[in-house]
Structure 1
Amino acid sequence: MTLDGHDPAPAWFDVSSPDAARARRFYQDLFGWTVNVLDDTYALVGADGGEPAGGIGQAGPGSPYTGIVVYFRVADVDEALARAEALGGKRRLDPRALPGQGRMAVFDDPDGNPVGLLGA
């Protein structure tokens, strides 16, 4: 089954940690990921020579979540978020623009698991 004409395959992941530097070291040592630190709050991670597969960010008091969130690609973030809410999901992070990357949003599924959306 597809959502908005897209296969529901993971497109990105984020690890949000109260100690992003520690999380970067942990996952780099565990998986051998290349870590490209953008600033004190965020780093891109992925395989050597490959596109980044995800990121590790600094969670703070205003962070919408901590832990790991998997993002799924959809054609329309607003439409997919509305559908998730109609099915019992709860909005956690309103849709927002990602420079050069489209838009994102996060909702909780009916069990409280955060799920991300990426798209237009």
Structure 2
Amino acid sequence: MTPPEHPHRPAWFDISTPDAARARRFYQDLFGWPSNVLDDTYALVGDADGRPAGGIGQAGPDSPYVGFVAYFPVDDVDAALARAEQLGGTRVLAPVDTPVSRIAVFTDPDGNHVGLISR
């Protein structure tokens, strides 16, 4: 499912929280992350060179999850999600296209949120 050119480490992360502004301030103060606020609901955060490494989003009442999710790179989000479900995972966020990638989120058999991403 994951070819050798894909490292087995996260490619992206999201922090979904009921108070995104507070979370942005916290992580900026803790790690010095620069923040690029896209709108009232989402901000890109990254390293000193300005490349985004993840995002902090505003969780609303219909948000599929709250908390930290690491996204792992795969060639085909839909196929990887189907495989995760076959292995006992549960779909949390159906595959969706973003401006730069395709993502999905599932919980593993222990309830941990895991993201999938393809570019």
Question: TM-score surpassing 0.5?
Answer: yes
Name the residue aligned to 2:2: 4
What is the TM-score when the length of structure 1 is the normalising length? 0.93
Give 1:7 deviation, angstroms: 2.8
SS in 2 for 1:63: coil
Give 1:8 deviation, angstroms: 2.2
- Aligned-pair identity (%): 69
Kindly report structure 1 stretches of 4+ aligned residues shifted beyond 4 Å: none
Contact 2:46 2:54 in 1 (8 A): yes
SS in 1 for 2:91: strand
SS in 2 for 1:91: strand
Structure 1 alignment gaps of length 5 or more: none
Contact 1:13 1:68 in 2 (8 A): yes
Give 1:48 deviation, angstroms: 1.6
SS in 2 for 1:118: strand
What is the TM-score when the length of structure 2 is the normalising length? 0.94
Aligned residues: 117
Q: How much is the aligned-residue C-alpha RMSD, in angstroms?
A: 1.0
Please state if 1:114 is matched with 2:82: no
In the alignment, the residues of structure 2 paired with residue 68 and residue 87 of structure 1 have an alpha-carbon distance, to the nearest angstrom, of 22
Structure 1 residues 43-80: Cα deviation after superposition (integer angstroms, max 9, x where no partner): 00011214110000000000000010000010000110
Name the residue aligned to 1:37: 37
In the alignment, the residues of structure 1 paired with residue 83 and residue 42 of structure 2 have an alpha-carbon distance, to the nearest angstrom, of 30
